[in-house]
Amino acid sequence: MAEGKIKKVSIVVSKGSLEGVYPGLIMANGARMEGIEANLFFTFFGLDAVVKNRIGKIRVATVGNPAMYFPPKNGIRIPSILGMLPGMSAFATWYFGKTMDKLDIPPIPEFVEMAHDAGVKFYACKATVDMFKYEAKDFIPQLESVITVGDFYEKAAGGEIIFT
């Protein structure tokens, strides 16, 4: 770890679930509030956070989540297999959305705009974009560009890399 104050963070977002996207947005926005340069690099299903027709449809992943409790503090553990039940992901998304709203945490599209306005730079992984056959028109306007992993490392140079 670098000595002294962190000057730059580059955060990799690879999961397209609510609990995959929010940590990157929160950490990047928090970095900007502290005067730290922040880059977000979206790859694989994390790319949903910067795709126009998917950004508003990000949900909680209930299948295969061994930490799923309702309510989260002192609740009952929901077995992973129950995550497959119809409506389970929608219910969990609604529940956490309601809770985040009470804490004044904005929905993902609004949070992306807010973080971008604060100076967070948004990048998409070229390999994933090519693999999923996306085009420039598919992305939100806040996306700086589609870059290679090598370009990402160049932008991240001298800072900390965080994988959420």
Residue range 11-40, pLDDT digits in tens = 999 999 999 999 999 999 999 999 999 999
CATH domain 8-163 topology = Hypothetical Protein Ychn; Chain: A, (3.40.1260)
Q: What is the 3-state secondary structure (H, E, C) of 46-106?
A: HHHHHECCCHHHCCCCCCCCCCCEECCCCCEECCHHHHHCCCHHHHHHHHHHHHHHHCCCC
pLDDT band of residue 82 (cuts 50, 70, 90) is: confident
Structure token pair of residue 47: 């790319």
**What token pair was written down for 148?**
């290679």
Residue 4: band (very low, low, confident or very high) from pLDDT cuts 50, 70, 90: confident
- What gap in Å lies between CA 61 and CA 84, rounded to an integer? 10
Whether pTM > 0.85 for this model: the answer is yes
Question: How many angstroms separate the CA atoms of 62 and 22, rounded?
Answer: 16
Evaluate whether 11 touches 24 at the Cβ level (below 8 Å).
Answer: yes
Question: 21-43 burial by CB neighbour count: b if 16+ within 10 A, else e?
Answer: bbebbebbbebbeeebbbbbbbb
Residues ≥6 apart with Cβ < 8 Å to 12: 24, 41, 43, 46, 152, 161, 162, 163, 164
Q: What is the DSSP letter of 3?
A: S
pLDDT of residue 1: 45
| Domain ranges for the chain | 8-163
Say which residue, 29 or 62, is predicted with more confidence: 29
Whether 66 contacts 41, CB under 8 Å? no
Copy the structure tokens of residue 80: 């992973």
pLDDT band at 151 (very low <50, low <70, confident <90, very high): very high
List CB contacts of 127: < 8 A, sequence separation 6 or more: 43, 148, 149
